[in-house]
Amino acid sequence: MHLLIPAAGSGSRMKAGKNKLLINLNGESILYWTLKSVFLSKKVSWVGIIGQPHDRSEIMNSIKEFSDKINWINGGNTRQESVRNGVNNLPNNAMKVLIHDGARCLIKPELIDKCFTELEENDAVILAVKVTDTIKVVNENRIIKETPDRNFLWAAQTPQGFLVTQLKKAHQKAKENSWNVTDDASLFERLQWPVKIIEGNSTNIKITSPIDLKIASLFLGNSLV
């Protein structure tokens, strides 16, 4: 099955002065660990990395072990644009696709497989975890407006999997209507297309801020997690 990895960000919140996916974590780049897990999945047969052209040589250098199994696609200015480029450059035989952020390097191969399996029965699926904090919705002055019932709140992760024809259409509609979203499932919601949640694992964090490097370093060194 086909899998796309958005890796074209700049990592502004990480403040490392370069794409955070190139940061060294336990001896390898963050993107290396993501790919390590991806290629341990039994169901992945084609992988596309969506990256900025100026990062290409450094990225490929940091993932040499997988270089003959990787297809390169140029990314855009936003994650949404990057994924759109990715989907529009999939091989013609790709019917379903998983999108998995390069920044989620702690993903377990079994969970990637689970997403592919669920995608056989559903047109759109995402990995997510139950929210444990009580979430507040606020106004622009940070005054609380409401507290949604936690039983209905899930924190979205990746992988997110879709029918290629639908995902292409959703991204095209988003472009036409200037929708700006931070994950692909949001586009399906706007179109009122159902997306099924698959319960994931809270260790599947997105490396975003410097503290996440410390957490990920511990998890990577602990095979029990």
Least gap, CB of 21 to ligand CTP (angstroms) = 6
# binding residues, ligand CTP (CB under 6 A): 22
> Which listed range, 13-21, 66-74, 139-147, 214-222, lies at the site for ligand CTP (CB under 6 A)?
13-21
CA–CA distance, 197 with 53 (Å, rounded to integer) = 34
- Among 99-107, 143-151, 167-175, 214-222, the segment contacting ligand CTP (CB under 6 A): 99-107
109 contact choice in Mg ion, ligand CTP, none (CB below 5 to 8 Å, kind-dependent): none
Token pair 């095979």 is found at 223
Is 15 a binding residue for ligand CTP by CB under 6 A? The answer is no
Q: Which is nearer to Mg ion, 20 or 96 (CB)?
A: 20
Minimum separation from the CB atom of position 112 to Mg ion (A): 22
| DSSP string covering the chain | -EEEEE-----TTTTSSS-GGGSEETTEEHHHHHHHHHHHSSS--EEEEEE-GGGHHHHHHHTGGGGGGEEEEE--SSHHHHHHHHHHTS-TT--EEEE--TT-TT--HHHHHHHHHHHHH-SEEEEEEE--SPP-EE-TT--EEE---GGG-EEEEEEEEEEHHHHHHHHHHHHHHT---SSSHHHHHHTT---EEEE--TT-----SHHHHHHHHHHHT-TT-
Residue 103 within binding range of ligand CTP, rule CB under 6 A: yes
Q: Is residue 73 within the footprint of ligand CTP (CB under 6 A)?
A: no
CB of 59 to ligand CTP, least distance (A): 10
Judged by CB under 5 A, the chain residues 3 through 62 that form the site for Mg ion are 9
Residue nearest to ligand CTP (CB): 9
Contacts with Mg ion by CB under 5 A lie at 9
Contacts with ligand CTP by CB under 6 A lie at 6-13, 20-21, 50, 75-79, 82, 101-103, 206, 208
